[in-house]
Amino acid sequence: MKKKLSEIAALIGAELKGEDLEVTGINALELADEKELSFVESGKFLEAAKNSRARALLVSPALAGKLEGKSLIVTPNVRAAVAKIGFLFYEEKEHPGGISELAFVAEGAEIHEEASIYPFVYVGEKAKIGPRTVLYPGVYVGDEAEIAEEVIIYPNAVIYPRTKIGPRTIIHAGAVVGSDGFGYAQENGRHLKIPHFGRVEIAEEVEIGANTTIDRGTFGSTKIGSGTKIDNLIQIAHNVQIGRGCAFAGQVGFTGSVRVGNFVLVGGQAGISANLGDQTMVAAKAGVAKEVPPGKAVAGAPALEIAKWRRCVAAYERLPEMVKELRELKAKIAELEEKLNERDKS
């Protein structure tokens, strides 16, 4: 596939400076060949850009003057441009369409004729699969689940009964959506299982990482809002409600019934057992047990407001010194006391 830089620039509404070359793909600075377009995410990569074999670059206006001899597509948001242009060159697999003879479709399931159902897929009773949706090999869709259009579910993911999944959502391999919540009553030292009547509802354009698990609600639903992106190996417990446009890095965990606002960012391995307001940020490895108000950032376990956490961390590293200083001060004070006492006597 070949594209002219002028075409690409037009597509993203950007300006082309320099020769209107033809490019065959997009690639990282150090990997690109002479026929590929590359990109400069910040001034940090200016030297790499100069040394790159790529003759065409996506750059921000601030860097455009510093790259003589290259053809430049100038755009304020280079990363967004990479996302959009990338898909020009990305060859999506063409799916066969229809239901494989090696798949199993239960009674009453409704599978749109434009859906692709691969071998070893199981679709339960009365489940609905929308147009252009792809169920890769080994996917399980439980009874009465509803999968909208243009959803991609990668191999061996498991969708429990009655789950709802919105348009253009992507679910990666091995993810489990809709399993029983971890809810028990205690009686005479036994854990009595509480039945889970609820479901999981996933909105549109959500992405769910490989081997992530999302439990269904006890009563009512566990909900994931539109455009929210969830990385691998994340645990989302029963009745959690997550807003729009959030992004959670790998191995994060949410305990039951937590509410998460819109545009919330959570770093890897954080654990969340309290509500997170809109546009909050939680650092990697934080342990959040107290509600975070809108717009705030927290870090640490137990989590603190991030500026405070930084000061605490800095002080923590000085702790062994502080122990020593405290000991010295004690000695000095004892000395001073003695001196004073001696004078009192004299």
Of residues 43-62, which lie at the interface with a copy of itself (CB under 8 A)? none
d(CA 77, CA 43): 14
Nearer to a copy of itself, 18 or 287 (CB): 287
Of 10, 48, 62, 333, the one binding a copy of itself by CB under 8 A: 333
Backbone angles phi, psi at 297, to 5 degrees: -120, 140
Of 4, 42, 77, 294, the one binding a copy of itself by CB under 8 A: 77
Q: Does residue number 166 form part of the binding site for a copy of itself (CB under 8 A)?
A: no
DSSP-derived 3-state class of residue 84: helix
d(CA 247, CA 72): 31
Neighbour tally for 327: CB within 10 Å: 10
d(CA 204, CA 165): 7
Q: One-letter amino acid identity for 295? A: G
Q: Does residue number 11 form part of the binding site for a copy of itself (CB under 8 A)?
A: no
Site string for a copy of itself, 94-133 (x = CB under 8 A): ------x-x-x-------------xxx-x-----------
Q: Does residue number 167 form part of the binding site for a copy of itself (CB under 8 A)?
A: no
Active site residue 238: yes
DSSP-derived 3-state class of residue 178: strand
Residues in the interface with a copy of itself (CB under 8 A) total 113
Q: Are the C-beta atoms of 160 and 216 separated by less than 8 Å? A: yes
Of 131, 245, 277, 293, the one binding a copy of itself by CB under 8 A: 245
Minimum Å gap between C-beta 334 and a copy of itself is 9
Sorted by sequence, the CB contacts under 8 Å of residue 310 that are 6+ apart come out as 299
What token pair was written down for 87? Answer: 């898909």
Site string for a copy of itself, 270-299 (x = CB under 8 A): -x-x----------xx-x-x----------
Contact set for a copy of itself, span 13-42 (CB under 8 A): 25-28, 31
Residues marked active site are found at: 238
